[in-house]
Structure 1
Amino acid sequence: MSLKLTVGDLTIHRIIEQETTFLPALDLLPALTPDLLAENRPWMREAGAIDAEDVLILCFQSYVVKTPHHTILVDSCIGNDKPRPLRPKWNMKTDDTFMRGLAAAGFSVRDIDFVMCTHLHVDHVGWNTRLENGRWVPTFPNARYVFGKREFDYWAEQHSKTPVPPFGDSVLPVVEAKRAEIVRDDYAIGDHARILPTPGHTPGHVAFTFGRGKDAAVFSGDLMHSPLQTRYPELSAKFDVDQVQAATTRRNFMERFCDTDTLCCTAHFPSPSTGRIRRKGDGFSCEAV
């Protein structure tokens, strides 16, 4: 399986940290019924999106996008040395999988010009920082880190009431190191990278579109976790802050990119994780490329 794609003048590399079972489908997607699951189980199994016990299989990954001008990391995955007691597979991790993946794609941490975060959940900011002499420091020393203002403000307010560990160890140290760009929705990087607001999973969740003059690729973040949500956009995840808004945003996103040449790069679909949105009945599918 190739982890490298080319679309237009972009080169896209997948950096996989984990691809593993996550939660039972009926747990992650509260509106999913046993009958609907049974109806879709065959193709989900064939796609490697669900195991024999009906537990969803998710990929946890970053993307490195090489434009003619910049090298951009989209989301920074889980990270090492971080206390995540609620997620044993992520808790105080010490493996070199992510860094080996980055090196295999031909990059060092110094090569990254921008880190763009779709939102500030634990598995999207982890490698923003690394532990050095007991302190959290930016992993990518030459990068500007792009955080959406609505998203940043939401988590800053939550953190001021009750500590939010990933905000404390993976976001604030970047701000303190003066490497952060806290931006509004009209922010762009050159003529290749733009923000597309996609609220619902979190209040300030965004997708990123890339391409000169058109959307050659879109990075959807946690707009959807499983291919089942393309078939049935109304199925929101239990982690969505506003499940109704998330469902509306997801359908609007599908309609926008349906039957276009835009490559959709998902955060969590099982490998190959990328595809083009096509209409399928009243829903959609992400046809692998």
Structure 2
Amino acid sequence: MDTIALGDVEITRVVELPARGGARQYIFPDVPVEHWEAHENWLAPTFLDPAADEVRTMMQTWLIRSQEGRTILIDTGIGNDRERPAMPSFHHLHTHYLDELTAAGVRPQDVDTVICTHVHGDHVGWNTRRADDGEWRPTFPNAQYVISRADFDYWNPANGHRTRSGPRMANVFEDSVAPVHRSGQTVLWEGDHYDIDAQLRIEPAPGHTPGSSVVWLRSGSDRALFAGDLLHSPLQIVEPDDCPTFDEDEPRARDSRRRVLGEAVDRGALLFPAHFPGPGAVEVRRVGDRFAVKKWAAWR
């Protein structure tokens, strides 16, 4: 179990699915192959499989525990038993995610807060699990689920929004968001920030979805940034204008990516994207109007 300490906070990586490849042309259809070839020497083999022409990603979430005893989960993965007809790799999935959480020393009832960086099927799935009566119930019965109101409204089928993701989001709101809202456990935040506590602040970073957000951690002199899907591949550190097919609004996503990467440099923050395999977290530096890897995380 990968763990790192920042100040008086412990961060643990909880893996739902290990690293795997996805077709480069599916994930990044509009990114020139020359961008990948120019950086193949350091992207391969951890983040890129040139022979298979695949981008390697991982399904993971972040567990935060402080000395004050708070237990916070950032994103909840894909979930089991989902009907995801347009996303075959998520369809009727069965993983041991809750066992991995238990191995990290946390039971579902121990979680105080669930932060959803955005509403996509691979970030809200374990918000719920299917009960014996077939209904979807909150997985974390004592937790507040913090979700941006912009995403809640955008993905609510009752509002009839036409989205780029279309069928890929079928059933996600109904089985993974609506049940925790009906249970009275959601906090729908809006504005320029939302403070979880003195150490954790959520800030908007729209583009990937209208309500996409990042989570800043401050503990002593240490800083961390949980970036959700601001980045799908380290390529986007050096090519921040490159967008995956999953970005709802590419111009806003580019603006958010450049702004947040710059803030990470300025604050000396360790960056935790949602899907990086291997070292998983990274410090970045400026190189002209772009960025580069400064140092990968050292786990224990």
TM tier, smaller: over 0.9
Distance 1:140 1:19 in 2: 23
1:208 and 2:206 are equivalent in the alignment:
no
Partner amino acid, structure 2, of 1:91? H
Partner amino acid, structure 2, of 1:67? S
Partner amino acid, structure 2, of 1:274? A
Distance 1:66 1:146 in 2: 17
Residue equivalent to 1:119: 118
Identity %: 36
Partner amino acid, structure 2, of 1:271? G
Contact 2:36 2:235 in 1 (8 A): no
Query: Is the partner of 2:225 in helix, strand or coil?
Result: strand
TM-score (norm 2): 0.89
- Going from structure 1 to structure 2, the CA distance change for 1:279 and 1:113 (only over 3 Å counts) comes to same
Residue equivalent to 1:288: 296
1:145 and 2:145 are equivalent in the alignment:
yes
Say which is worse superposed, 27-36 or 52-61, in terms of deviation.
Answer: 27-36
Distance 1:275 1:34 in 2: 24
Say which is worse superposed, 16-25 or 48-57, in terms of deviation.
Answer: 16-25
Contact 1:26 1:33 in 2 (8 A): no
Cα deviations by residue, 1:49-104 (Å, 9 ceiling, x for unpaired): 011212011011110111233110000001001111223232112232x1121112
Query: Is the partner of 2:39 in helix, strand or coil?
Result: helix
Distance 2:118 2:112 in 1: 19
Distance 1:198 1:213 in 2: 25
Distance 2:285 2:246 in 1: 26
Distance 1:29 1:280 in 2: 23
Cα deviations by residue, 1:110-167 (Å, 9 ceiling, x for unpaired): 11000000001000000000000201000001101001111111112x4443884110
Pairwise CA RMSD: 1.9
Distance 1:182 1:81 in 2: 26
Residue number among 194, 200, 209 corresponding to 2:201 in the alignment: 194
Contact 1:260 1:277 in 2 (8 A): no
Partner amino acid, structure 2, of 1:125? V
Say which is worse superposed, 249-258 or 208-217, in terms of deviation.
Answer: 208-217
Distance 1:151 1:160 in 2: 11
Residue equivalent to 1:49: 47
1:31: Cα distance to partner?
Answer: 3.3
1:41: Cα distance to partner?
Answer: 1.8
TM-score (norm 1): 0.92
1:26: Cα distance to partner?
Answer: 3.3
Cα deviations by residue, 1:248-279 (Å, 9 ceiling, x for unpaired): 11011111111643111110111221121222
Partner amino acid, structure 1, of 2:181? V
Query: Is the partner of 1:258 in helix, strand or coil?
Result: helix
- Pairs aligned (count): 285
Say which is worse superposed, 162-171 or 9-18, in terms of deviation.
Answer: 162-171
- Going from structure 1 to structure 2, the CA distance change for 1:207 and 1:82 (only over 3 Å counts) comes to same
Distance 2:260 2:215 in 1: 12
1:71 and 2:71 are equivalent in the alignment:
yes
Residue number among 179, 185, 190 corresponding to 1:173 in the alignment: 179
- Going from structure 1 to structure 2, the CA distance change for 1:77 and 1:230 (only over 3 Å counts) comes to same
Distance 1:266 1:159 in 2: 31
Residue equivalent to 1:95: 95
Say which is worse superposed, 199-208 or 176-185, in terms of deviation.
Answer: 176-185
Distance 2:110 2:233 in 1: 31
Contact 1:191 1:212 in 2 (8 A): no
Query: Is the partner of 1:273 in helix, strand or coil?
Result: coil
Residue number among 232, 243, 256 corresponding to 1:236 in the alignment: 243
Partner amino acid, structure 2, of 1:77? G
The answer for unaligned runs of 5 or more in structure 2 is 162-168
Distance 1:85 1:271 in 2: 29
**Where do 4+ consecutive residues of structure 1 move more than 6 Å?**
none
- Going from structure 1 to structure 2, the CA distance change for 1:268 and 1:14 (only over 3 Å counts) comes to same
Distance 1:116 1:249 in 2: 19
Distance 2:29 2:261 in 1: 21
